[in-house]
């Protein structure tokens, strides 16, 4: 990330900055990590292939796109993500996409960002039932041009599961 | 891979802005050097304060933090970003930010994603709670500005959140203009602060 702060802004801020302490955070990193609201979240690897990645994410994206009759470049434009990353997501089922890409796809699909992050391999949730559902879904879907009845049903069921709170 | 942005800090003694660098993506060596510079200085001054009978509540509350441990615990996770503010060959401030899994608690923003500042601290020689004449100011402002920029980069519109240590509550409330959501019983009863997109714009104005 690149940042540019003008000298005028810095001097203005310096005039406001008394001799305050500025520390933020808790004593215990692990305790804080486990205190996420509602569920216990643990971030995991990103971008490259990881043992946490799940083929169901790529399949979900592929089937959802085909169901909507969109080309890869059209979905990339709709979701405002990089077309090459979308291609990689569908082509390499063990690819772990960037969190922003997952957010954008979750928004486009109208699905839970948290579950999509987990499904994409960016986040693990302890005691999650998503893993089993994802494996079931991935096993039932084939990579063909048109959705078969079974694929259609698998996609519908999985999307329903992902939509549940 | 790290990126470096040129910034400035205010040298309190001379009253002039001096060149500094904001590093996004610290290496293990950067963190080890910072820890090696900070810890002896902090330990020595805390020892002196204890010997002088300074009450525990006045000692720096983050004196037990170990940044190398934080680096080790998070380095493999892309969702964590560690920033360093370097000036005159020493790290003047450090920040660990989390870019996913945290949402706004403010009613009007509820559920919207934000960048969560997991940890933020200035070098001990910049702390008024330790030395009578801190060396540099602007460390906190530059790091908070970095968190806002990161939030914008993630398309979170500048939303950030953090749990402040009690000695810093006023700074986040008054100087940064963040919303004080009160003590959080799930996080050591520390006060939880958030910055809305509007407050972020105001901060950067």
Give per-residue pLDDT as tens, B29-72: 999 999 999 999 999 998 898 888 888 777 887 788 889 988 98
Give the least confident one: A99-103, B9-13, B154-158. A99-103
How high is the pLDDT of residue A48? 39
- By C-alpha distance, the chain A residue nearest B97 is A25
Q: Establish, for the pair of chains A and B, how many residue pairs have beta carbons separated by less than 8 Å.
A: 169
DSSP string, A99-121: HHHHHHHHHHHT--HHHHHHHHT
The model's pLDDT over A22-70, given as tens digits with 9 standing for 90+, comes to: 888 876 554 444 333 333 333 333 333 344 446 778 888 888 888 888 8
Domains of chain A: 39-163 (1.10.260.40)
User: Closest residue of B to A16, CA-based?
Assistant: B175
List the single residue in A with minimal CA-CA distance to B83: A1
**B86 three-state secondary structure:** strand
Residue A20's alpha-carbon distances to A23, A59, B51, B120, B165, in angstroms, are 9, 52, 24, 13, 12
Average pLDDT for chain B: 92
Residue A99, exposed/middle/buried by CB under 10 A (0-12, 13-18, 19+)? buried
A83-91 and A72-79 helices cross at what angle (nearest 10)?
Answer: 120
Q: Which domains does chain B have, with CATH numbers?
A: 3-204 (3.40.630.30)
| Mutate: best of A21, A107, A121, partner B, most B CBs <10 A | A21
Nearest by CB to residue B119, choosing from A1, A7, A25, is A25
Report, as an integer, the average pLDDT of B173-198.
93
- Beta carbons of B153 and A4 less than 8 Å apart: no
Choose among A124, A117, A100: nearest CA to A51. A124
Is the pLDDT score of A95 beyond 50? yes
pLDDT at B91: 98
What's residue B164's pLDDT? 94
Reported confidence tier of residue A131, pLDDT bands at 50, 70, 90: low
Per the structure block, which two tokens stand in for B195? 């910055």
CB spacing of B73 vs A30 below 8 angstroms: yes
B127-155 pLDDT, tens digit per residue, is: 988 898 999 999 999 999 999 999 999 99
- Model confidence pTM above 0.80: no
């Amino acid at each position: 990330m690149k940042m540019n702060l003008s000298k005028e802004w810095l001097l203005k801020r310096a005039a406001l900055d008394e001799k305050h302490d500025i520390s933020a955070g808790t004593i215990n990193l692990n305790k804080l990590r486990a205190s996420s609201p509602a569920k216990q979240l643990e971030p995991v690897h990103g971008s490259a292939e990881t043992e946490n990645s799940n083929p169901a994410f790529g399949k979900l994206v592929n089937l959802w796109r085909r169901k909507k009759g969109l080309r890869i470049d059209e979905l990339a434009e709709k979701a405002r993500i990089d077309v090459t990353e979308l291609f990689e997501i569908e082509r390499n089922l063990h690819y772990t996409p960037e969190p922003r890409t997952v957010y954008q796809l979750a928004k486009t699909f109208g699905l839970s960002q948290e579950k999509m992050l987990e499904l994409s391999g960016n986040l693990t949730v302890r005691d999650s039932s998503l893993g089993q559902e994802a494996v079931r879904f991935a096993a039932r879907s084939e990579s063909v041009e048109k959705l078969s009845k079974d694929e259609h049903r698998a996609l519908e069921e999985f999307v329903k599961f992902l939509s549940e709170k | 891979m790290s990126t470096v942005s040129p910034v400035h800090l205010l040298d309190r003694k001379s009253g002039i802005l001096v060149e500094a660098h904001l590093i996004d993506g610290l290496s293990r060596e950067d963190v080890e050097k910072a820890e090696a510079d900070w810890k002896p200085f902090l330990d020595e001054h805390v020892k002196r304060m204890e010997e002088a009978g300074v009450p525990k509540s006045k000692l720096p509350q983050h004196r037990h933090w170990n940044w190398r441990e934080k680096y080790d615990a998070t380095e493999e996770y892309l969702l964590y970003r560690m920033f360093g503010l370097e000036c005159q060959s020493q790290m003047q401030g450090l920040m660990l930010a989390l870019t996913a899994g945290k949402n706004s608690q403010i009613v009007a923003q509820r559920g919207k994603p934000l960048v969560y500042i997991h940890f933020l601290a200035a070098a001990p020689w910049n702390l008024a709670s330790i030395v009578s004449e801190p060396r540099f100011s602007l460390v906190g402002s530059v790091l908070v500005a970095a968190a806002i920029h990161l939030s914008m980069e993630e398309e979170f519109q500048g939303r950030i959140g953090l749990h402040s240590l009690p000695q810093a509550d006023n700074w986040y409330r008054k100087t940064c203009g963040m919303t004080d959501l009160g003590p959080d019983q799930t996080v050591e009863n520390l006060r939880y602060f958030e910055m809305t997109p509007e407050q972020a714009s105001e901060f950067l104005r």
